Amino acid sequence: MGVEIAQVGVEQLTVYAQVPIWFEVSEVLAVEAIDGGLGGLRMVEKPVVQPYVKDYDAQADGQEGPVHWPERFDVRRWGFLLACEGDRTVGGATVAVDSPDVHMLENRDDLAVLWDIRVHPDARGRGIGSKLFAEAARWAREQGCKQLKVETQNVNVQACRFYAKQGCELGGIERYGYAGCKEVSHETMLLWYLDL
């Protein structure tokens, strides 16, 4: 049975949210400043002492998950995608465009943000993420966007490898991007860009 990807409306976010987004952190891309940063930054893959699970939906007491996006943002122009295998939802992706309240869009009307991408843990490694990513990029291109931006962290090494494989380039390293958020202040923000 093949995987079908369809664009859905905001009313399907409860179904979308049922796809877990957690992953195990067993390694990080440690960012090292060369000559205080004047010589650039080097990223070195290092194992973590104690592996742990990170779940984006569980952050901020669960108030940041998909069902809460319409309460926090104007999502009328966002694109929501579901990946289904028969009657089972195995993945999803969300693309944000034309949303003044989303600072990641940098006040640009030619930039889209891959707000979220997720594949059910027991369906990972089967190319579903690549299909979702390609469809998200296609959708963003249809909206007139020239670039797709993705934020991840140095603790999500698998995601970094995935975005590089999809043709994205690392465009920004914000070593102190989460300094104001105690539970993730040790993480480094990584910003990836794909020319559409």
Q: Does residue 20 lie within any of the structural domains?
A: yes
Query: What number of H helices and E strands is found in the chain?
Result: 4, 9
Number of domains present in the structure of the chain: 1
User: Which structure tokens are listed for 80?
Assistant: 């929501």
Q: Does residue 41 lie within any of the structural domains?
A: yes
Give the integer Cα–Cα distance in Å for 132 and 89. Answer: 12
The residue segments making up the domain with residue 62 are: 3-145
Q: Give tens-digit pLDDT for 16-39.
A: 999 999 999 999 999 999 999 999
Burial class for 160, CB neighbours closer than 10 Å (0-12, 13-18, 19+): buried
Q: Does residue 110 lie within any of the structural domains?
A: yes
Q: Does residue 169 lie within any of the structural domains?
A: no
Rounded to a whole number, what is the largest CA-CA distance in the chain? 55
Residue 121 belongs to domain with CATH number: 3.40.630.30
**pTM higher than 0.75, yes or no?**
yes
User: Which structure tokens are listed for 40?
Assistant: 């650039």
Q: Does residue 152 lie within any of the structural domains?
A: no
Give the pLDDT confidence score for residue 62 in this predicted structure: 60
Which residue positions in the chain have pLDDT lower than 70? 1, 60-62
